[in-house]
Amino acid sequence: MTITVRAATLQDVEGIARVHVDTWRTTYRGLIPDAYLDNLTYEPRQRMWNQILGTPGSQNLTFVAVDEAGQIVGFINGGPERENDPFYQSELYAIYILASQHGHGTGRVLVRTLAQSLIQSGFTNMLVWVLAGNPATQFYQRLGAQYVTAKPVQIGGADLQEFAYGWPDLQVLL
């Protein structure tokens, strides 16, 4: 199976929103309340991605993974770190890949692509926040990320924890 990774465009909004919602439903089932996941719809995510991808001059970087049939099967989004961390300059905001694509290297290629783009933009390190219990924690650790800190977060009325993992040097991802 051949996957192509490329910069996202406004024409990708529908596919990105579909992957975003579908992967939330599978990845976070059992972590986030079912009612919240069951009520997710594509339209709000489409509006969100239209705004993200349609903002001229944004430092927001988004890449999609596309299969041989031209369908978006995953995406990654990142840019400047959002909470004024004293060390980490950039952040991986979101990476979601359809369950059918797990274990084929798609995530690794997406992270490498984002890291290359961040380095070209002048960033040297990167942080990612991961919901406690998310199996992606091991994925980030395999890619060399180190545990940084934790914080409480509320999603769907549930009190949860997020863990920050960081790459002190983005070069390790290349």
Domains defined for the chain, CATH in brackets = 4-125 (3.40.630.30)
pLDDT under 50: residue ranges of the chain: none
| Backbone CA torsion sign across 144, 4, 23, 10 | positive
At residue 97, the pLDDT reads 98
Residues 34/26, Cβ–Cβ less than 8 Å: no
Residues 148/165, Cβ–Cβ less than 8 Å: yes
- For tokens 């991802």, name the residue: 173
Which positions ≥6 away from 164 have C-beta within 8 Å?
A: 127, 128, 129, 130, 147, 148, 149, 150, 151
Q: Cβ–Cβ contacts within 10 Å for residue 23, how many?
A: 19
Query: Distances in Å between the alpha carbon of 139 and those of 89, 93, 105, 106, 133?
Result: 21, 15, 11, 12, 12
| Backbone CA torsion sign across 136, 144, 123, 63 | negative
**How high does pLDDT run on average in the chain?**
97
The 3-state DSSP class for residue 102 equals coil
Pairing of strands 146-155, 158-167: antiparallel
Residue 32 DSSP symbol: B
At residue 1, the pLDDT reads 74
Give the span between the Cα atoms of 163 and 165, in whole angstroms. Answer: 7
Residues 170/118, Cβ–Cβ less than 8 Å: yes
At residue 119, the pLDDT reads 98
Q: Cβ–Cβ contacts within 10 Å for residue 158, how many?
A: 11
Residues 158/124, Cβ–Cβ less than 8 Å: no
